[in-house]
């Protein structure tokens, strides 16, 4: 069997993910845009599972910008320490909460530019909030999605920004919010960083049945 052409790979990936994951629950526990923003910020270089273990205590202490700024940075840091990078994350959480009060009437802004202007909020975090809190089409790409897109021949991007651009070109805009979660779910279940080298999981084998060597992924 020959390796699939790119259009065939795109169709296969899309169809397979729709079949495997018809529903896409948001992995991070939250109750509103603010708690989602904090949870996504905490998830940087940390698993969603660990974040969900930490946020109940944090949100019990403060689940609004007004209550968060009443906590000291040191108190926030002591609660979120298991998530890693706690000095930077605690300072960012406290300062962005201040800015939400000062500039946005204590509400999470609904634009990429305003979100990305907040401390600790990069494009990927803003994209998750826009997609999952406000339903705005976005395709948040992290290192895991970047890896899958490389293995499936959907991009040659050298970084997550280039991969995001390519995936947005390949898939319908109305599918982006769901699809990025489907990528994540598939990667966790079938195509992990160490569990598949581009020749092991069902999609990798289907896209490239003739692949003889591990797929070298461009590091983001």
**Which residues are catalytic, by number?**
124, 142
Select from 117, 119, 157, 118 the least CA-distant residue to 139: 157
Q: Could you write out the DSSP letters of every residue in 136-159?
A: -------HHHHHHHHHTTS---SS
The helix (run of H) or strand (run of E) holding residue 168 is helix 160-170
Q: Please report where in the chains the tokens 């003739």 appear, as a residue.
A: 210
User: What's the rounded Cα separation, in Å, for the pair 135 and 88?
Assistant: 28
Q: C-alpha angle 58/61/67, rounded to 5°?
A: 110
């Amino acid at each position: 069997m020959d390796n699939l052409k790119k259009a065939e790979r795109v169709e296969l990936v899309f169809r397979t993910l729709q079949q495997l994951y018809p529903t896409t629950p948001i992995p991070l526990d939250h109750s509103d845009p603010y708690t989602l923003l904090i949870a996504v910020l905490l998830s940087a270089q940390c698993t969603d599972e660990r974040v969900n273990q930490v946020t109940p205590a944090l949100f019990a202490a403060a689940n609004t910008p007004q209550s968060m700024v009443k906590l000291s940075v040191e108190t926030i840091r002591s609660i979120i320490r298991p998530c890693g990078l706690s000095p930077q994350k605690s300072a960012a959480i406290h300062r962005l909460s201040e800015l939400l009060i000062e500039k946005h009437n204590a509400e999470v802004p609904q634009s990429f530019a305003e979100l990305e202007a907040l401390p600790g909020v990069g494009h990927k975090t803003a994209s998750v909030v826009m997609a999952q809190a406000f339903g705005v089409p976005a395709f948040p790409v992290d290192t895991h999605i970047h890896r899958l897109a490389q293995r499936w021949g959907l991009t040659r991007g050298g970084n997550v920004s280039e991969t995001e651009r390519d995936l947005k070109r390949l898939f319908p805009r109305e599918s982006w919010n769901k699809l990025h979660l489907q990528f994540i779910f598939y990667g966790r279940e079938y195509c992990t960083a160490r569990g598949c080298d581009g020749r092991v999981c069902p999609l990798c084998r289907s896209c490239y049945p003739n692949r003889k060597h591990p797929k070298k992924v461009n590091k983001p």
